[in-house]
Amino acid sequence: MPESMTSPPPPVSAAPRGAISLSGITRIFAGAIPAVDRVDLEIQAGEFFTLLGPSGCGKTTLLRMIAGFETPDAGRILISGREMQDVPAHQRAVNTVFQSYALFPHLNVEQNIGFGLRMQGVKSPERKKRVDAIMELLQIGQFATRNAAQLSGGQRQRVALARALVNEPEVVLLDEPLSALDAKLRNELQIELLRMQKRLGMTFIFVTHDQHEALVMSDRIAVMSKGRLQQVGPVLDVYEKPRNVFVAEFLGLSNIWPINPLGGGLAETAIGRLQITTPIGAERLAMIRPEKIWIFNADNTPANTPNVFPGIVREAIYMGAATQYRIELATGGFILAYDTNNQAAERSWRAGEAVAVELKPNNIMLIDA
Amino acid sequence: MKTAVQTEARARSIRLWITSGPGLFWIILFLLIPSIVLLGIGFFTANDYGSPVLPLTTTPFQQVAGFSLLGWDDGNIIILLRSLEQAVIATVVSALLSYPIVFFIMTRPAALRPLLLLFVILPSWTNQVVRTYAWLELLGPNAPVTWLAHALGIVPPDLGIAPGAFAVTTGLAYNYLPYMIVPLYASAEKLDWTLVEAGRDLYASGIRLFWHAVFPQTVPGLLSGVIFVAIPAFGDYIVPQLLGGDKSLMIGSLIANQFTETPDWPYGAALTIITLVFTGAGLVAFRILTRRIGGSGEATI
C-alpha cells in the first residue's frame, strides 16, 4: 500500500485499544485567548464520552486535535497508548462524523462508505462485504447506489456514520452530528447511535452543545467553557453534583444562592436559614434543582420539618409532563420548582395560590462560583 | 376591458423583452446576420479578384471538403486536424499550469489574492499581436531557450523554435491561460474544505487526496475553462500566423488568407461556416458528455 500505511509509532503505555489520554493540551489561534487551555483528560476504551459546552468553548477544536486536523500548541495526545505528535490525520485510526456530514457529492452511498477502505487498500470482494454489512446494520442498503444529494438529512447522517464505522476505527469522533435534524428524528437517532456504540464497543467522542442530548447518550461528560474543562464525570454526577455555577446552569435549571455558614450544618441565605447535609467547606453557593423541591398546599404544610418555606405561586408554566412554578417566598426572593403532572389536575397550582415548599437538606448541593 | 390576468401577462412579456432584448440584439447583430451573409456568399462564384459573383454554385463547399480542379487533396483535413490538435494540447497545458497557480493564489492571504489574480489577467489587456511578437523573440534563433534546444538537438542549428508547431502550442497556451485560471479560481474559491478533511480522515493524502477530494469539486470550473480555451484556440489567427510559419497553418489563418493574400471570398465564407458548425457541434457534444460523466460537473459558462 502507498505512503499512508507507514507503521504507527510504538505504544508508549499499555493503554487498551481505543483509550485516549490528553495532557496539557493547549491551542491558541493567532495570539488570542486560548481556544483550548491546558486540558487533561482520560477517556476509557469503549466509552461514550461527550464534550459538552456552548459554541466557542473549544470542544470542536479539541475534537479536531484528536482527529489530527489541528496541532496542539502544547500538550500530548495518546491514542491507544501511542503518541500522536507526529502522526498526520490520514494515518490515525480515528474516523470522524462531520457536522455537515461531508459526504463526497461525486460518489454514491456505497462508494462513500467504501472510500476509507479503498484508501487503505482493501480490495473489492472484502471491501464490498464490509460495506454491505455496515449498510445492513444501519438499514441504508436500499440507498446503495443513490447520490448523497438525493438523501434526506437522517439518511445522510446514517451514511456518514457508516462511512466512519466501516473502517473499524479505534475511536469515532462525532461533531454535533444530529444538530441539523428535527427533534423527533434526533431522538430516534440518539438512541440508535447509542445502541450502535454499545454493540460495536468502540470509543465514541461526541461533541454537542445540547445538554439534553449529552444526558441521554453519554457514559461520561466533560463540560467545557472558555477552553477549560469545568467538570468531568458520569452523567449523574455532573447533573446532580455540579462543581460550579457554570456546570449547574448549563446542564439545566437551578436555584442558586450565596451562603453564609452559621455552623452545625446551617447557613443563612437570601430565602432564609437552610439546613444542609453536605459538610460546608470552602464553597460559597448553595444549589438545588427545581425538580427536587416539594410543593404543598398552604393548609397542608409539613410541621417540624427543616427548610419549609411558605410562598405564593407567581407563575405556572404547563409543559405537558411537568409544570414549572415560580414561587415568591414569604422570607423574600423567588424559587423555581418543577412538579410532574402525574396526578389529576387538582394537584396543579395556579398563579396567586398560597403554597409551601420544602427543600430537603440532602438535595442541597454546595458549589463554587 | 382588460382583465388582471391579461395585464399581468403583458407586463411579463415586457419584462422579458427588457431583460433578454439587449442580449438578443447582440447575438442577432454580431452573430446571426454576419453568419447568414457569409452563408450566402458561400454559394457564389469567385471572379478573378476573389469577389463573389453570380452564378450560384456549391463549388466553395466542395473546395472546403478538399476537391479542386486538380482532384481531391487532404490539405484542408490536415489543417483541421492540426487546429484540433493544437487546441487540445493548448487546453491541456493551460489546465495543468492553472491548478498550481490557482492553489498558490488561493492559499495566499485574502488581501493579496485579488492583486495576484489581477497579475494573471493583466497581460490580456495588452494587444495580442504585441505579446505574440514578444514570444517570437523569446523563441527566435538567438534566444537562450533556443540555444538549449540546439544543445539538445531538438531544433537544427541556425533555426529558432519559432516558427514551428511547438511555438504555436506555447503561444496558444500562454495566450488563453487566464481564461482557464479565472473560472477554475471561481470554483476553487467555493471549495468545501470539510470534504478535504473528510478525505484526510479516511486515509487519503497527497495526490490521492487531491484527486478524490479536491479535483471533483473543481470540475465545473475546469469544464468552463476548457470551453473558454479550446474554442478560441481552435480558431486562433494571430498565434499560428506569427509563430507557426508555413508548415503550421491553422484553420484561422487559412480563412484569413481567403480574404487577404489569395482572395477567394466564397471559399473563405464556406470555410467559416463549416468551422462554425464544427465548433457548435463540438460544444454540444462536450456538454452532453460532461453531463453524462458527472451530474455535478456540468460546464457552466
pLDDT band at B2 (very low <50, low <70, confident <90, very high): low
Same domain assignment for residues A181 and A240: yes
Q: What is the pLDDT of residue B255?
A: 86
Q: What is the pLDDT of residue A4?
A: 44
pLDDT band at B184 (very low <50, low <70, confident <90, very high): very high
pLDDT band at A8 (very low <50, low <70, confident <90, very high): low
DSSP H or E run through A225: strand A220-225
Residue B189 has pLDDT above 50, yes or no: yes
Contact between chains at A90 and B296 (C-beta distance less than 8 A): no
pLDDT, averaged across chain B: 84
Same domain assignment for residues A222 and A81: yes
Question: Is A3 in CB contact (< 8 Å) with chain B?
Answer: yes
Contact between chains at A115 and B212 (C-beta distance less than 8 A): yes
A219, A249, A279 - which closes a domain: A249
CATH number at residue A275: 2.40.50.140
Q: What is the pLDDT of residue A114?
A: 94
Question: Which segment of A62-66, A267-271, B260-264 scores lowest on mean pLDDT?
Answer: B260-264
Go through B212-228 and write b for each residue having 16 or more CB atoms within 10 A of its CB, e for each that does not: bbbebbbbbbbbbbbbb
Residue B199 has pLDDT above 90, yes or no: yes
Contact between chains at B205 and A147 (C-beta distance less than 8 A): no
- The ipTM assigned to this model is 0.82
Q: What does DSSP say about strands A20-27 and A74-79: parallel, antiparallel, or unpaired?
A: antiparallel
Least CB–CB distance from A116: residue in B203, B294, B296: B203
Instruction: Give the rounded percent of residues in chain B with a pLDDT score beyond 90.
Output: 22
Q: What is the pLDDT of residue A160?
A: 94
Query: Is A117 within the bounds of a domain?
Result: no
Q: What ranges do the domains of chain B cover? A: 40-73+263-277
Select from A3, A5, A98, A115 the residue whose CB has the most chain B CBs within 10 Å, as the one to mutate to test that interface: A115
pLDDT band at A232 (very low <50, low <70, confident <90, very high): very high
Residue A351 to residues A255, A315, A327, B126, B290, Cα–Cα distance (Å): 20, 5, 9, 81, 69
Q: Rounded to whole angstroms, how far apart are CA atoms A189 and A183?
A: 10
Same domain assignment for residues A201 and A337: no
B89: cell is: 494540447
Q: Rounded to whole angstroms, how far apart are CA atoms A161 and B37?
A: 63
pLDDT, averaged across chain A: 89
Q: Helices B265-293 and B33-41, interaxial angle, to 10°?
A: 130
Same domain assignment for residues A362 and A235: no
More confident residue, A197 or B292: A197
> 112-131 in A: which are within 8 Å (CB) of B?
115-116, 119-120
Q: Rounded to whole angstroms, how far apart are CA atoms B207 and A173?
A: 25
B273: cell is: 461556416
- Say which residues have a Cβ less than 8 Å from residue A30's Cβ, sequence separation at least 6: none
Give bridge partners of residue A273 from the DSSP assignment. A268
Same domain assignment for residues A230 and A242: yes
Residue found by looking up cell 493547549 in the block: A26
> 46-75 in A: which are within 8 Å (CB) of B?
67-69
What secondary structure letter does DSSP report for A32?
Answer: S
Same domain assignment for residues A184 and A333: no
Same domain assignment for residues A210 and A84: yes
Q: What is the pLDDT of residue A32?
A: 75
Contact between chains at A102 and B209 (C-beta distance less than 8 A): no
| Single-letter amino acid code for the residue at B150 | H
Q: Rounded to whole angstroms, how far apart are CA atoms B207 and B184?
A: 18
pLDDT digits 0-9 by tens, B35-57:
898 888 888 787 777 777 788 78
B197: cell is: 478533511
Question: Which segment of A170-184, A331-345, B177-191 scores lowest on mean pLDDT?
Answer: A331-345
Instruction: Give the rounded percent of residues in chain A with a pLDDT score beyond 90.
Output: 60
Question: Is B202 in CB contact (< 8 Å) with chain A?
Answer: yes
- Mean pLDDT, residues B260-285 taken together: 86
Q: What is the pLDDT of residue B244?
A: 80
End-to-end CA distance of chain B: 45
Residues of B in contact with A119 (CB under 8 A): 202-204, 208, 212
Residue found by looking up cell 482572395 in the block: B263
CATH number at residue A215: 3.40.50.300
Query: Is A217 within the bounds of a domain?
Result: yes
Q: What is the pLDDT of residue B285?
A: 86
Contact between chains at B294 and A106 (C-beta distance less than 8 A): yes
Task: Yes or no: say if A262 and A268 are a contact pair by the CB < 8 Å rule.
Answer: yes
A249, A267, A298 - which closes a domain: A249
Same domain assignment for residues A209 and A303: no
pLDDT band at A58 (very low <50, low <70, confident <90, very high): very high
Contact between chains at B200 and A69 (C-beta distance less than 8 A): yes
The count of domains in chain A is 2
Q: Residue A300 sits in which domain range?
A: 253-367
Task: Yes or no: say if A109 and A148 are a contact pair by the CB < 8 Å rule.
Answer: yes
Residue found by looking up cell 499512508 in the block: A4
Residue A176 has pLDDT above 80, yes or no: yes
Q: Rounded to whole angstroms, how far apart are CA atoms B246 and B108?
A: 44
Same domain assignment for residues A239 and A268: no
Same domain assignment for residues A281 and A359: yes
Query: Is A244 within the bounds of a domain?
Result: yes
Query: Is A150 within the bounds of a domain?
Result: no
Residue B104 to residues B215, B278, B280, Cα–Cα distance (Å): 15, 36, 34
Q: What is the pLDDT of residue B237?
A: 85
What secondary structure letter does DSSP report for A10?
Answer: P
A221, A249, A277 - which closes a domain: A249
Q: Rounded to whole angstroms, how far apart are CA atoms B198 and B200?
A: 5
Q: Rounded to whole angstroms, how far apart are CA atoms A347 and A359?
A: 19
Same domain assignment for residues A220 and A281: no
Residues of A in contact with B294 (CB under 8 A): 106
Same domain assignment for residues A203 and A335: no
Residue B297 has pLDDT above 50, yes or no: no
Q: What is the pLDDT of residue B278?
A: 87
User: What pTM was estimated for this model as a whole?
Assistant: 0.80
Give bridge partners of residue B72 from the DSSP assignment. B67
pLDDT band at A1 (very low <50, low <70, confident <90, very high): very low
